[in-house]
């Protein structure tokens, strides 16, 4: 196994120490995209085919001389030809109907999502009967980027629960490795989708993302720069995996550079927070204007987004590197262990919030 190379980069601002940069350990998972087809064009072509088939079924088979030639053929052959044309027209109509229904279903789903997003932008999101103020600014207006992220994250969680159930069922039923590999790739890509969503949300409001308000209270206890700590991931996974001696050594070799990367990012965050606090506190008391300090502080805040992206990059590469060390079946067990670990943290938060309380 090749250990990740380390490279320290100097920020464009003189506010923190060089940040550890993880080199890419493999290629990204690639997705397939399907070309868009114009529904109106398909309907037009199918309509022409239907008209031609109906004309044929009524005996309009071309000019009169062709009709005379066809009439001279044995009647059973003509009947077979007409039956084939009618069957082709019927199948064409069924295909057209199924395709139009699929387009209509997709259109309705898109309209529903757009309506939900617009409602969230205008009114805010409500959870347990209370308004979630996390995506509201100081003026009380909704941050569209954060409202969209909370909605996306809710859908992501639903899909995550389904993927965990699929992995559990596949492992218990001992499916073939080729089928299990499809589930593993899907689960990995699902985490990568979350990192993409978080990158967009950080640009909208990095304070919200790093505060962990989109997570439960127990998850926030272990929060590290907007997510789980990669070295903690190894501690969660390894006890559930039956590693060979070679695999165990490779995991041990991976742990040290991960810890170094985390320490470098943590030190950079500490230095940035210190400089940001000094910048905000600078200036004379009672001067009545904070504009100069805020202008300088805004430049520093932009660096927080890069820290979130660096941390998610480290998390992504840790998942990919572990998948290279492990077999497909071990990787499936590791993803199941990670998913259930996060589920248990959310369950702990729920139990704590609903615990019996002694009367005051």
pLDDT score at 360: 59
Backbone φ and ψ of 273, nearest 5°: -65, -40
Find the mean pLDDT for residues 89-109: 79
Q: Is the pTM of this model over 0.85?
A: no
Quick: pLDDT tens for 118-174: 666 555 443 333 334 444 443 445 688 898 999 999 999 999 999 999 999 999 998
Domain ranges of the chain: 144-352
| Non-local CB neighbours of 48 within 8 Å, separated by 6+ positions | none
Quick: pLDDT tens for 318-331: 999 999 999 999 99
Buried residues in 140-159 as b, exposed as e (16+ CB within 10 A): eebbebbbbbbbbbeebeee
Backbone φ and ψ of 183, nearest 5°: -65, -40
d(Cα 149, Cα 151) in Å, to the nearest integer?
A: 5
d(Cα 74, Cα 54) in Å, to the nearest integer?
A: 22
Distance of CA 258 to the CA centre of its chain: 24
pLDDT score at 57: 43
Q: With a cut of 90, say whether residue 298 has pLDDT above it.
A: no
**pLDDT band at residue 289 using 50, 70 and 90 as cut-offs:** low
């Amino acid at each position: 196994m090749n250990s990740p190379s380390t490279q320290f980069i100097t920020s464009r601002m003189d506010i923190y120490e060089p940040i550890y940069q993880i080199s890419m350990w493999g290629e990204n998972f690639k997705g397939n995209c399907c070309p868009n087809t114009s529904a109106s064009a398909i309907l037009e072509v199918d309509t022409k085919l239907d008209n031609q088939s109906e004309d044929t079924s009524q005996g309009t088979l071309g000019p009169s001389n062709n009709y005379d030639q066809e009439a001279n053929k044995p009647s059973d052959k003509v009947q077979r030809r007409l039956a084939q044309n009618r069957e082709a027209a019927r199948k064409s109509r069924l295909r057209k109907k199924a395709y139009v229904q699929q387009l209509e279903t997709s259109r309705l789903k898109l309209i529903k999502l757009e309506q939900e997003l617009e409602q969230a932008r205008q009114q805010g999101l409500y959870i347990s009967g209370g308004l979630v103020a996390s995506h509201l600014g100081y003026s009380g207006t909704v941050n569209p980027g954060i409202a969209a992220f909370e909605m996306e994250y809710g859908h992501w969680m639903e899909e995550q629960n389904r993927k965990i159930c699929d992995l559990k069922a596949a492992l218990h039923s001992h499916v073939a490795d080729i089928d299990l590999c499809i589930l593993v790739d899907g689960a990995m890509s699902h985490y990568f989708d979350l990192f993409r969503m978080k990158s967009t949300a950080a640009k909208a409001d990095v304070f919200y993302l790093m505060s962990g308000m989109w997570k439960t209270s127990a998850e926030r206890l272990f929060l590290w720069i907007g997510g789980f700590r990669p070295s903690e991931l190894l501690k969660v996974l390894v006890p559930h995996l039956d590693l060979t001696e070679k695999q165990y050594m490779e995991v041990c070799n991976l742990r040290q550079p991960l810890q170094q990367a985390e320490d470098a990012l943590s030190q950079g965050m500490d230095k940035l927070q210190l400089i940001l606090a000094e910048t905000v506190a600078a200036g004379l008391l009672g001067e009545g204007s904070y504009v100069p300090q805020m202008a300088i502080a805004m430049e520093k805040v932009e660096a927080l987004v890069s820290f979130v992206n660096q941390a998610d990059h480290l998390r992504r590469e840790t998942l990919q590197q572990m998948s290279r060390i492990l077999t497909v079946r071990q990787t499936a067990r590791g993803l199941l262990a990670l998913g259930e670990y996060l589920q248990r943290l959310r369950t702990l938060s729920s139990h704590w919030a609903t615990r019996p309380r002694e009367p005051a």
